[in-house]
Every structure is written in C-alpha cells, then in structure tokens.
Structure 1
Amino acid sequence: MATIDSGERSALAGFRVTGQTLLMVGFTLVQTLALGLWLTLVADAPLISAASAVGLGVLTLGLVLEHVLTDATINGVSVSALPGKQTFAVSGSEALLWVLWLGVAQRLGGVDGILVAGALLAVLLMPQHTVEDNVLRGVAPFETVMDLGTAGFSVVEAVGATVWLLLVFEGQQFSGLLAALGLAGVDSSAVGLAALAVVLLVEHDIGVALAREG
C-alpha cells in the first residue's frame, strides 16, 4: 500500500491552507460588495420603499453566500455547507442589524450620529456573532448568546463600518487626511469601501480562528 511521505503531507497541508485563505478572501469580497451595493440602493431611499426592500434582499442574499463560504472554509466543502434555515435566519438577522445601524446614523446625523451608530453596532454584533459561531460549530444556535470571544472581532467590524460610513457621508471633512495619505482626488466613498474590505478580512481571520478552536 502506498504511503504519503512527509513532503507530500506538507504539500497537501499547504494546498489546504491556500484554499482556505482564498475562500476567506472570497467571502470577504462578497460581504464587502453586498454592503456596498446595499448602501448605494438605500442611502437616499425612505425606510419603507421598494428600493429599501430590494436593498435588504440583496444584502441578505450576499450574507447567505458569505456564510456558506465561511462554513466551507471552517468545516470543508460538503452538502451540509449548502444554505439551510439557520443560514438564512442568521443572514437575515445580520442584514436587519445593518439596516438598524444605518437608520440610527441617518436619524442622528453627522459625525456624532455615525459614531453612536457604530457603538450600537459593536454591541449588537456580539450576540449576532455568537449565534453564528454556534451554527458554524454545529451546536444549538442559542446554546450561548454572549461569548466574550466574539467581542474583539465584533468591535473590529463595527470600527470598519464606522470608518466606511464616515467617508461616505462625511468625506469632505476628511479630505485633508486623505490628501496626507496620498489619496487626494480619490473618491472618499471608494476609500471607505476599501478600508471596510481590509477590516472585514482581519475580522474574518479572527472569527475563523475562533470557530476552529471549537
């Protein structure tokens, strides 16, 4: 019987890590694009409107795909990785958190409103991420609803979202900073979305590592 030597095992492990990294980059881009498209659709639309409904649907479907790819990254590709009721439920609840976050920011207005909304998002993401982590681990979704292990990357994601929204809605106030960073003339909304993508990648790296510990 043929055996796998240490070199082959090392190569297989390397391919596995590379594949997992590509999947993580992939679902980070999916979430970033879903959020960017959603904000474009709903930024100037009333809360109760066709545009808001379409935006919510786009965001929810984007988050479903993100969660499917997250599951594949952590647990491997299998039939069980296909979206089920739990995946749609956590995706829908997360989409509603983003809607609430944007609503608070717009209702309060200005930089202060965005900062308050970001703090609220950080708090709300902790139980959201705990439930998502439970689903990824294969335990009951509400086995725990507040795991301090999710606090760190929940705050990271909220910070990224805050920076993004500041640059989208209050970009003119940061033109000097962008110029100092060599980004003069670059659309502040694009810079904000790029910053969100980088922060989400960091957040996903932390979240995937936590889920694998289980």
Structure 2
Amino acid sequence: MKEVTAVGQTVEEALQSALKQLKVTEERVEIDVLDKGKKGLFGLFGQRPASVKVRLRAQDPVEEAKTYVLSIAAHLGVFPHIQVEKAGKQVIFSLSGEKIALLIGKRGQTLNSLQQLTQLVINRHSKDFIHFTLDAENYRKRREETLAALAKRMAEKAVSSGKPVRLEPLPSFERKIVHAALSGDRRIRTFSEGAEPKRSMVIAPKTK
C-alpha cells in the first residue's frame, strides 16, 4: 500500500488514520487535503468529515541503505563515516572510523553479512537492480590480495601432491577471486562443491 484516502472529524484525525494504515510517520509522506470538513450547526446539522489523501514519498535507495548500515553499526557501538561511490548501477559504501574491526569480523564474515542485508535494502527501494559493495578501511582489497596469494600457494600444493585441495567455505564473490587468480595456470582446474553458505572452492591438478 503506497497511498490511502482517510476521513475524520478533523484534518489531523484523518491524517493520523492514514498514517496508521500506512504504518509510517508524517515525515515519510506527502499529504493532500481533499476536504477540511465542516462542524455543522450545533455540531449536528450540515456536518461534513474532513478527508485527506496520503502517499508515501519516493525514497532514495542509497539514503535508505545508509540509514540501515548506520543503525546496525550503532547497535554494535560503532559510528562510522560512510563514503559513497556511484558508477552506473554500482554503489560502493566505504566505512571508516573507530572500532571498524567490529564491523569487519573474523575473515570479513560480519562485513559480508551486512553487505548481503544492505543489498536487499537498497534494492527494495530501487526500480533497477543495484550492485552493492560494502567495504571498511580498504578491507576488500587486502582480502583480495590475501585470497590470491592463498590460491597460488594451494595450487602449488595440489600440483606437487597430485591431490585436490579444498579451501574453507567462501562467499561466491570470494570464490570468483580465487578462480580469477588461477585462471592462467594450466596445471590445475578449479570448481565449487557443497551448498551455500558452506560452498567451497576446490583446486585440483589436471590429469595428464
């Protein structure tokens, strides 16, 4: 429901009825007063109710996403600064400030979960699909370098042992980093096994 028409003895009463139906506050809506109403003689004769049309304001998906991230961070006692980068349908939030490690979590697990949830929020308010990335203190670049180095070490291990090497479960975008890092190595092949969220990348030597 994005628009309702409500009536009441006064404009304010009609407005409150509409807000209750939409389950929002007055700041989130646009209001058209259709009829201010009329009290009538002695409060009885000729009485006419007031009526209003109330519609939800068009929301900025990026602002909604920022509000969401800041609210989650605040629950963890973190109050970050958010730098926003937009390029077409790509949006990147870069977080900085004190206690940022709490938003990153072990091996980026907290950051990844917050990214997935914010991806849902930003696209709930957008007509076109937005590719969303959440970064914190340049963690994504550092993680990419770590994964690429790990992938190459595990590739050497797979080749020398002649046996497949399974990495720890990784989200899909991190598995793509591993695959890209080894795409030029003709001695091995990479593939994924298992179900999300425990899907793993396997690095296996190619059979001669």
User: TM-score, normalization: structure 2?
Assistant: 0.26
When you count strand as a share of all residues, which structure comes out higher?
2
Structure richer in helix, relative to its length: 1
